[in-house]
């Protein structure tokens, strides 16, 4: 497959949360890097909140209109205060930028538009002081066609790097070797006149696939990870990890009933796992984490990426949520249930640089801010590791190009007008209500939507009911609440068509999460006795209800449209006996 007004209800809890924010830092430092770090059964990445930074769009330090590493360094204070433990930076290596960095021409350097290796080291050291780890993006499947390896490879059939890529003769009639199609459209094969053969590219023409069957490729690429571990990175997000291997016989892919190609022979091949096990060994020797861009059809396929002996990826992303494009309690419940039944540690994602922002995907045009909070309450209270996308926390919206000539993303150029590409979800971070949202004084590389005037960091910081403050409270809760850290997941009211409710249970305490995914007020019955909390006393932790129920025994709760209610449930001393 390829492709959410804060009210702190309880004054005591409120005071705690706020003091946490001010003390910043010390409270937070303990949870992020302290106790859990050296415990093998409870490694740091399990409770870390990851945050995806698209470097072109985060912060521009030299005002050329393009974000850069010094820009990211200047915003570490913000990320720290938000409650982020690790940032994943999408590719910032030297690149012709045909696919905005996912076409790498040198894996062991920084593109001058983003800075220098020295800037990277500075960023890494500064981040370390704030207990923020750095995860780099490892583009394993392909290089740029301008990478010296490919330049050599295409120079002659006998060049030293010829076999580093996948070259084949065309068919007798000159047609491509098989029917495989590129994710960017057209044949996945491009004819290179110089040597009279085709090369294979799962993605854009300028992104030739590496031949992972060649041990020299593995050696060089594993060396790249060692290089960055040497620069202090905490791990990698592995790009397009499902497409590393292709069928050696290059058999034609079958076509499904819907007329779409089924990528049987060039996606999710067994051989991927063999390489991942070896890559994990290297990662383990640096105590590093591997996150996967694991597009899978189902949970069984996803499960394989953890490795039969937990010896592959610690954090293969579950993209199933991102395929749900409507607010639907049954759909989310079902996906959570499947993930939970896999027995693996979940990785929750609702947005990234390849799909329309969650703000628009789930928003109904009228209650988008409410819905943004609702979605945040969902993926930040589930068992597992969440990966945020920059701007989600302020309710950034997609800003799709209006005219074809404005499109920058290669996918949008070929897909227009049906597919406007990914520019819309990659626009500059909105820092304040000033010119260019405070991102740059130059001309931003992509246009900023008008909503920046209300949806920006500075404005939302001042508003206690903002999406941003809701995220901050949620992240604070996640870092300190035992049930959210260690609790199991128990689905409640499993037949409710509108309200998603669950418990996170840990010993004598639980956190109750009730999310109204409908535009109507809903009465939700709460019988927690089957789960051992029938006599529990609920104390509201965080909610978007206009009037939340007071602390005490709860048998039902009334939920406003699109509201979220999160409460701590404790068993009293007497009921424990």
What does 429 interact with, of ligand GLC, Ca ion, none (CB < 5 to 8 A by kind)? Answer: none
The single residue listed with the structure tokens 């053969």 is: 197
Nearer to ligand GLC, 292 or 438 (CB): 292
In angstroms, give the least distance from the CB of 447 to Ca ion.
Answer: 17
Nearer to ligand GLC, 354 or 397 (CB): 354
Give the count of beta carbons closer than 10 Å to the beta carbon of residue 403: 8
Nearer to Ca ion, 428 or 449 (CB): 428
Nearer to ligand GLC, 353 or 361 (CB): 353
What does 102 interact with, of ligand GLC, Ca ion, none (CB < 5 to 8 A by kind)? Answer: ligand GLC
In angstroms, give the least distance from the CB of 444 to Ca ion.
Answer: 10
- Host H or E run for residue 23: helix 11-23
Question: Which residues carry out catalysis?
Answer: 239, 293
Cα–Cα distance for residue pair 343/469, rounded to 1 Å:
33
**389 CB-near residues (< 8 Å, 6+ apart):** 51, 52, 349, 350, 351, 352, 353, 357, 358
In angstroms, give the least distance from the CB of 489 to ligand GLC.
Answer: 28
Q: Which residue is nearest to ligand GLC (CB)?
A: 102
Nearer to ligand GLC, 20 or 412 (CB): 412
What does 64 interact with, of Ca ion, ligand GLC, none (CB < 5 to 8 A by kind)? Answer: Ca ion
Cα–Cα distance for residue pair 109/111, rounded to 1 Å:
7
**Residue 128, both tokens:** 């370390």
Nearer to ligand GLC, 60 or 293 (CB): 293
Sign of CA dihedral 489, 395, 68, 124: negative
Long-range Cβ contacts of 147-155 (<8 Å, 24+ apart): 147/104, 147/105, 147/106, 148/105, 148/106, 149/220, 150/208, 153/199, 153/208, 154/192, 154/194, 154/195, 154/199, 155/194, 155/195
In angstroms, give the least distance from the CB of 66 to Ca ion.
Answer: 4
Footprint of ligand GLC (CB under 6 A): 99, 102, 139, 203, 239-240, 293, 353-354
What does 203 interact with, of Ca ion, ligand GLC, none (CB < 5 to 8 A by kind)? Answer: ligand GLC
Q: Which candidate, 139, 67, 102, places its Cα nearest to that of 422?
A: 102
Cα–Cα distance for residue pair 398/262, rounded to 1 Å:
30
The reply to whether 111 sits near Ca ion by the rule CB under 5 A is: no
In angstroms, give the least distance from the CB of 68 to Ca ion.
Answer: 4
Give the count of beta carbons closer than 10 Å to the beta carbon of residue 226: 11
What does 240 interact with, of ligand GLC, Ca ion, none (CB < 5 to 8 A by kind)? Answer: ligand GLC
Cα–Cα distance for residue pair 571/509, rounded to 1 Å:
7
- Dihedrals phi, psi of 74, to nearest 5 degrees: -70, -15
What does 312 interact with, of ligand GLC, Ca ion, none (CB < 5 to 8 A by kind)? Answer: none
What does 68 interact with, of Ca ion, ligand GLC, none (CB < 5 to 8 A by kind)? Answer: Ca ion
Q: Which letter, b or e, does each residue of 233-268 get, where b requires 16 or more Cβ atoms within 10 Å of its Cβ?
A: bbbbbbbbbbbbbbeeebeebeeeeeeebebebbbb
Cα–Cα distance for residue pair 124/433, rounded to 1 Å:
29
Q: Pattern 39-68, binding to Ca ion, x per CB under 5 A?
A: ---------------------x-x-x-x-x
The single residue listed with the structure tokens 């302020």 is: 394
CB 511 within 8 A of CB 541: yes
- Host H or E run for residue 274: helix 270-284
Nearer to Ca ion, 64 or 311 (CB): 64
What does 239 interact with, of Ca ion, ligand GLC, none (CB < 5 to 8 A by kind)? Answer: ligand GLC
CB 6 within 8 A of CB 466: yes
In angstroms, give the least distance from the CB of 463 to ligand GLC.
Answer: 33
The reply to whether 137 sits near Ca ion by the rule CB under 5 A is: no
Nearer to ligand GLC, 99 or 560 (CB): 99
In angstroms, give the least distance from the CB of 436 to Ca ion.
Answer: 12
In angstroms, give the least distance from the CB of 108 to Ca ion.
Answer: 21
- The binding site for Ca ion (CB under 5 A) comprises 60, 62, 64, 66, 68
């Amino acid at each position: 497959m390829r492709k959410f007004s804060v009210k702190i209800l309880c004054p005591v809890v409120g005071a705690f949360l706020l003091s946490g924010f001010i003390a910043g830092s010390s409270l937070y430092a303990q949870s992020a890097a302290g106790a859990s770090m050296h415990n093998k059964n409870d490694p740091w990445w399990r409770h870390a909140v990851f945050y995806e930074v698209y470097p072109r769009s985060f912060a521009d330090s030299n005002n050329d209109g393009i974000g850069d590493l010094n820009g990211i360094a200047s915003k570490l204070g913000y990320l720290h205060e938000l409650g982020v433990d690790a940032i994943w930076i999408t590719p910032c290596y030297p690149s012709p930028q045909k696919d905005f960095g996912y076409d790498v021409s040198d894996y062991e350097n920084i593109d001058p538009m983003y800075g220098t290796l020295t800037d990277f080291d500075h960023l890494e050291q500064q981040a370390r002081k704030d207990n923020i780890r750095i995860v780099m993006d490892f583009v394993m499947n392909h290089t740029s066609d301008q990478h010296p390896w490919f330049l050599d490879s295409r120079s002659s059939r006998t060049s030293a790097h010829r076999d580093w890529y996948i070259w084949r003769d065309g068919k007798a009639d000159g047609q491509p070797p098989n029917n495989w199609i590129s994710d960017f459209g057209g044949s996945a094969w491009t004819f290179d006149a110089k040597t009279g053969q085709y090369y294979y590219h799962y993605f854009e023409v300028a992104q030739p696939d590496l031949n992972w069957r060649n041990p020299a490729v593995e050696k060089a690429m594993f060396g790249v990870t060692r290089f960055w571990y040497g620069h202090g990175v905490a791990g990698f997000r592995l790009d397009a990890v499902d497409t590393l291997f292709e069928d050696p016989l290059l058999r034609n892919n079958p076509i499904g009933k819907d007329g779409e190609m089924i990528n049987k022979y060039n996606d999710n091949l067994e051989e991927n796992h063999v390489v991942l096990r070896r890559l994990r060994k290297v990662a383990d020797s640096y105590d590093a984490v591997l996150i996967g861009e694991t597009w899978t059809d189902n949970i069984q396929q996803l499960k394989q990426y953890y490795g039969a002996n937990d010896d592959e990826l610690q954090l293969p992303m579950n993209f199933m949520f991102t395929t749900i494009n409507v607010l639907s309690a049954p759909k989310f419940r079902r996906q959570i249930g499947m993930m939970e039944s896999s027995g693996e540690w979940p990785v929750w994602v609702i947005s990234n640089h390849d799909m329309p922002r969650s703000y628009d995907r789930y928003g109904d045009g009228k209650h988008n801010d409410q819905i943004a909070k609702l979605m945040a309450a969902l993926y930040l209270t589930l068992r597992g590791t969440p990966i945020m996308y920059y701007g989600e926390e302020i309710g950034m919206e997609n800003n799709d190009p209006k005219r074809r000539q404005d499109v920058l993303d290669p996918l949008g150029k070929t897909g227009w007008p049906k597919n406007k590409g990914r520019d819309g979800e990659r626009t500059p971070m909105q820092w304040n209500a000033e010119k260019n949202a405070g991102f740059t004084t130059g001309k931003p590389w992509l246009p900023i939507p008008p909503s920046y005037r209300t949806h920006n960091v500075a404005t939302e910081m001042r508003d206690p009911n903002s999406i941003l403050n809701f995220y901050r409270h949620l992240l604070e809760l996640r870092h300190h609440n035992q049930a959210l850290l260690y609790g199991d997941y128990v689905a409640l009211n499993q037949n409710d068509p509108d309200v998603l409710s669950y418990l996170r249970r840990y010993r004598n305490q639980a956190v109750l999460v009730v999310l109204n995914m409908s535009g109507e007020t809903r009465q939700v019955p709460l019988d927690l006795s089957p789960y051992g909390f029938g006599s529990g006393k609920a104390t509201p932790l965080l909610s978007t209800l206009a009037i939340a129920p007071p602390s005490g025994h709860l048998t039902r709760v009334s939920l406003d449209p699109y509201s979220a209610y999160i409460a701590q449930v404790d068993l009293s001393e007497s009921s424990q006996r």
